[in-house]
Structure formats: C-alpha cells, structure tokens
Amino acid sequence: MAALWESAIAKFNDRSARVGVLGLGYAGLPLTCCFAETGFETYGFDVDRAKVDQLRAGRSYIGHIPAQRIARLVASGRLQPTPDFRALRECDAAVICVPTPLGEGRTPDLTYVINTARAVAEHLHRGQLVVLESTTYPGTTDEVLLPMFEASGLKVGQDYFLAFSPEREDPANADFSTRTIPKVVGGITSNCGRVAAAAYAALVERVVPVSSARAAESAKLLENIYRCVNIAMINELKLLFERMGIDVWEVIQASATKPFGFTPFFPGPGLGGHCIPVDPFYLTWKAKQYDFNTRFIELAGEINSAMPLHVVDRLTEGLNLMGKALNGAEVLLIGAAYKKNVEDVRESPAIRIIQLLHERLARVSYYDPYVPRLETRHLEKPLLSVRLTPEAVSASDAVIVVTDHSNIDYAMILEHARLVVDTRNATAPYRRPSHKVIMA
C-alpha cells in the first residue's frame, strides 16, 4: 500500500487533485488561473465578495489578466471563485497568497496570514498539502503555521504536508509568466517538500527544491533585498553625480557594456509595490532576535525613502529659476502606479510626492492611463486622473514624470511644458536643448 505522501503526489501527477488558492490578488489570481488551465479543479478563495462576484461574472480586476481568460475558466467549471472557506474540505491543496504588510515601526503584520491559516486549520484533513506563498521572515511557516495545524492532532509529513514556496510574480512582464518563472519549494519535512514539488511540477516549467521552508523563505528575501540595496546604491550615486554635473543614465549605459560582473540598476523617485519597499524589513525585524543589525537594509531603506523628497526639492529648484514659488504652483504628475504599464499603486512613490506637494501648498493633478482614480489612506480625498492634452500640460507650471508608462506622448509633453522634472529618463529620446528638463 502506498504511503500517504506517495498517494498525494499521484493526485498531482494525474491532475485529479482539487486545489484551493486563498487570496486572489496579484499573486493568487494568476496562480489560480494556471492551476485551472493545467486541468485541476480549482477553488479561488477571497474574503472580498466584490472580487468574487467579478470573477464569477467573467470579469478581471487585474489589468494584465484578460477577462476572456477568467470567463473561459469559470464557464468550464475548472475555476470556482468563492468566499466560502468550507470548500477547503474538498481541496487536496491549500495555497495561501495573502498580503504581508508592515505594521507600526516597520514590524511584520501577519494578520492576513494568521487569519487565513486559521481558516485552513479548521478544515485541515489527511493527505492535504498546505503551502504558504506570502513573503515573510524565515521561520514563519514552522513557527506560526505549524503550531496551528499540529493542534488538529495530525502529524506533519505523515498525515498532511506543509511547505513554503515564494511567489515571484512580476505584473506586466512580457518575458516571464507564472509558468516560466522557476518555483522554489521548501518543505517542513522531506515528504512535505516532495509533495509540494509535485504540485508545482504539474504547473511550472522548473521546480527548485531547497532543504527547508526557512531556506525558501530566505531565498525570497534575498531576491528583494538584492534589488533594494542595489537600487539604493544607484540612487545615492545619482545624487552625487547630479552635484558633479554627470549624467547618471549615461554612466549606467556605459557600464552596462561590460559583459561580465555588472548588472544595471536604475534610479527613480523611490520604491513601490508590495515587495521591495516592505519585505526587507521582515528580515530586519527577525535579525534583532539574533542580536544582529542589518545595516545594509536599513541604509538602503533610508536612501530609497528619501527619494520623493529629493524629487520635490528638484522641482522647487526648477521653479525658483523660473521665478515661481512652489506654493500655489500647478503641478501635473505623469503616472501614479509604482511601475510602468500596471495599475498597481501599492507603496507608489507618486503618493508620497503628492503628499509632499500638498504640504507645500502646491495644486496637484495627475494623469495615469491605468489608474483612473487614486484613493489611499495617505491622501485626504480621492484624486481623478485628468486628460493628458496639450492644454493640460501648458496650463501647468511643471510636469513631473513619476512613472514611465510606454503609452505616454512624451514628445507632446516636452513641446508644451514650461518645466519637466524627469525621474525615469523617459524623455531622453525626445529631448532637445530648448526643452526645460530637470533630472531628479
């Protein structure tokens, strides 16, 4: 008779397993679609009934996931969106993809993970695989989730299987998808790792097994810290090169011609998105339990967090040269999303820049083709995207390019703007000496 872990693997191999994905955001929804498209009967769980209703109606609320894809999967019955967690009883796998924000003082906020894990624990049964995909500090899977599940009396690695596999989604990246990005998997036990690896092997082109859940949790943090620290370094060099009269973008382009030992990173107005501005501080918090100070992470956070203020300072300098004060100035922001060609505004530097401009009594408007309405806890009232027209540009005292969306008419902006503050070098192909452009 086959061991339970072998039977679990067999279900994933022949696609007879039922899969539940908990959290249908930027990481969970693409994963849910992939499981369903691979032939698994897939439940998509979310506490947001509005999201569930949209999916059931065949609509998508994430720009790079077409509504047709959702509608096809729902109509086939392979994708079943639901707010009812009792359906977990039917699932052979439960994959947790919920947010892990920062709390006060940059401390980890595991509220969503804990609440979701409790729902899973309530319906945990023999043979079930549970995978945490939410980015977190090393030890979360075995220190937080494992005790909840052990209280059921089931034995990990024998009766059920627990693992960590970090999400690696990059929205709107045309070169990589959920299927083509290698999947790192680490189990609490070796059997857990084998079952989790089998589940993802049915889905993605390459699975990368590691020795433990902690190793998998750490791998995700290293990926994000690597980017955070290198972006901070290039932002600091930008500040220095500005004083020295050197074009940092030219320097990066020249350095990138070296075919080995150099990876280009690019400066900007600050970090955004859920991962890079947030995740490194999960490790910073955990490191303190080991009497260790993560100095690189802290310094990188300070540098990157200061970039929105630098943008506003550069704007102020430019306006002063025109004999104009920031107080009362009409400022038009291009882009509200945290990165190009997406609608995601989480931790976007645009929000902080708007705050700073409001504090300095500037009159602020924005244009973003992906974000028609900007409403966050950081803003006193919602803002609506304006139409990007020559009249709107010429009526502004200054335009700040915050997000370098591909479908922006930068030539038109340069032609009609009194002053452009470019944080992304987006105007480079169209700039002429007659244009008033400040890099920031």
pLDDT value of residue 112: 97
Cβ-based neighbours of 304, under 8 Å, separated by 6 or more: 228, 231, 232, 235, 270, 271, 277
Predicted confidence (pLDDT) at residue 52 exceeds the cutoff of 90: yes
Question: Among all chains, which residue has been given the structure tokens 């693997």?
Answer: 9
168 with 48, same domain? Answer: yes
C-alpha torsion sign, points 388, 393, 394, 395: positive
204 in the same domain as 74: yes
Among 182, 197, 214, the domain boundary falls at 214
pLDDT given at position 274: 78
Whether 197 and 73 map to the same domain: the answer is yes
Clarify whether residues 197 and 68 are in a common domain.
yes
Residues contacting 310, CB < 8 A, separation 6+: 239, 440
Is residue 241 included in any domain, yes or no?
no
What does the pLDDT read at residue 2?
74
Do 313 and 198 fall within a single domain?
no
Question: Is residue 297 included in any domain, yes or no?
Answer: no
pLDDT in tens, 68-114: 999 999 999 999 999 999 999 999 999 999 999 988 888 999 999 99
Domain boundary among 192, 214, 236: 214
Shared domain check, 191 and 59: yes
Residues 190 and 334 in one domain: no
Query: Cβ of 21: how many Cβ atoms within 10 Å?
Result: 29
Rounded to an integer, the average pLDDT of 399-416 is: 97
Question: Closest Cα partner for 62 from 101, 97, 107?
Answer: 97
Structure tokens, 403: 């997000």
Instruction: Establish if 265 belongs to a structural domain.
Output: no
Of the pLDDT bands very low, low, confident and very high (cuts 50, 70, 90), residue 188 is very high
Q: Is 335 inside a domain boundary?
A: yes
Active site residues: 275
d(CA 30, CA 62): 10
- Weakest mean pLDDT among 132-136, 172-176, 331-335: 172-176
**Residue 205 and residue 321 share a domain:** no
pLDDT of the residue at 201: 97
Predicted local distance difference test score (pLDDT) of residue 333: 98
Residue 48, in any domain of the structure:
yes
pLDDT in tens, 107-137: 999 999 999 999 999 999 999 999 999 999 9
pLDDT of amino acid 275: 80
- Write down the pTM of the prediction: 0.93
Question: Can you tell me whether residue 361 is helix, strand or coil?
Answer: coil
Average pLDDT score over residue span 318-336 = 97
Q: Per the structure, how many domains does the chain have?
A: 2
Same domain for 145 and 31: yes
Determine the average pLDDT of the residues in 240-269. 97
In a domain, 222, yes or no: no
Mean pLDDT of the chain: 95
| CB burial of residue 440 (10 Å; 0-12, 13-18, 19+) | buried
Domain contains 14 = yes
Is 314 found in the same domain as 187?
no
* Residue with the larger pLDDT of the pair 274 and 236: 236
Residue 1: band (very low, low, confident or very high) from pLDDT cuts 50, 70, 90: low
For the domain that residue 203 is a member of, what is the CATH number? Answer: 3.40.50.720
Residue 261 lies in a domain: no
Range of the domain at 331: 306-439
Q: Coil, helix or strand for 426?
A: coil
Same domain, 55 and 171: yes
Q: Which two tokens stand for residue 238?
A: 């930008």
| Mean local confidence (pLDDT), 256-271 | 96
* Residue 190 and residue 88 share a domain: yes
pLDDT at res. 171: 85
Q: Last residue of a domain, which of 214, 241, 267? A: 214
Q: Which amino acid is at 431?
A: R
- pLDDT exceeds cutoff 80 at 419: yes
**The pLDDT value given to residue 273:** 83
